Structure 1
Amino acid sequence: MRLLLVICLFPVVGFAAKSKDCVTAEEAAKHANKDVCIDAHIYDVVELPDGTRFLDVCPPDTPDEKCGFTIVSLREDRVEVGELQKYRDVDVHMRGVVQAMHGRSGMVLSHARQFSGGPPKFKPNPKLLHGFSGEQAKPPIADPNLRPHGGHRAFMNSRDQEALHGR
């Protein structure tokens, strides 16, 4: 019985052990537009006057123009991301999409769950939302299947009824 249980659980253990390996911040630049996990040491947390925050992953002796990777957290994501000062001088594992950012590679930190391997916050494509509001009564697309055909006709219109035999 135990052997059967071990055999049944073995594929699950093998599957769970196959997690994505994290890459360093320097290697992440090679994975543009891909969802990756990075291992990085946060040397400093810098906040701009507009509320944008940067997690500096380059050592202090590296000039800013030589630093090839950055992590950015936008002001509108502050509630979901939370306090970032606690990550100063800490090694982190973070998941996100590597993007080109002003001459270097970077990752947008939009939700705290990214630190535990979770996905970034979902942000809908603004081009797909054109002309749509949650408060409007009409559907967001002009689907002919959503329109009533023929007004308020019932299943059987009174004009289309056949005369019954015997009446």
Structure 2
Amino acid sequence: MNSSVYIIPVLVVALFIYAAIKKVHVFNAFIDGAKRAIPLLIDLLPYICAMLVTSAVMEASGLNVCLSRILSPVFSFLGIPKEVGPLVIIKPFSGTGSLSILDSLFKLYGADSYIGRVASVIYGSGETIFYVSAVYYSAIGKKSPLSPLIICLVSSFISVVFASFVCRIL
């Protein structure tokens, strides 16, 4: 039998044992934490909605595919396969959208192909930068996250270039 099926139950039991030793009322602590989270959720909701709408509009309108075609010469120059262009563009906005693109790349080229491997590394090593930035900066109240956002986008793009290179030589 696989031991991984026991990990979550063991952790839950360990949490309750630790709480009993420390004399913490787990349910009351949970309720207090949930109460403190409600104002944060209200503050974050507009940012989350904005990012979800942005990513949905980009996918539905085909803007990501259009941008991919425009950037195709740059991608080719840097060794990034043009087929993963839509993934590179949508990944900073939407995890679900990029998963959908990854799935279609697998269906077209196969998971073990060069395109499939590059897409897998890009998907697995990237982050939904705009979503995380919106949530983080709304939580701390910072109004201008421009310089950290630029750094994140540049580092994400560099990781795409290296992913393409490493997958090409392996």
**TM-score range normalised by the length of the shorter chain:** under 0.3
Q: Please report the TM-score for the alignment, with normalisation by the length of structure 1.
A: 0.24
Larger % of helix: which? 2
Larger-gyration structure (1/2)? 1
TM-score by length of 2: 0.24
- Bigger relative contact order, structure 1 or 2, given CA contacts below 8 A and separation 6+? 2
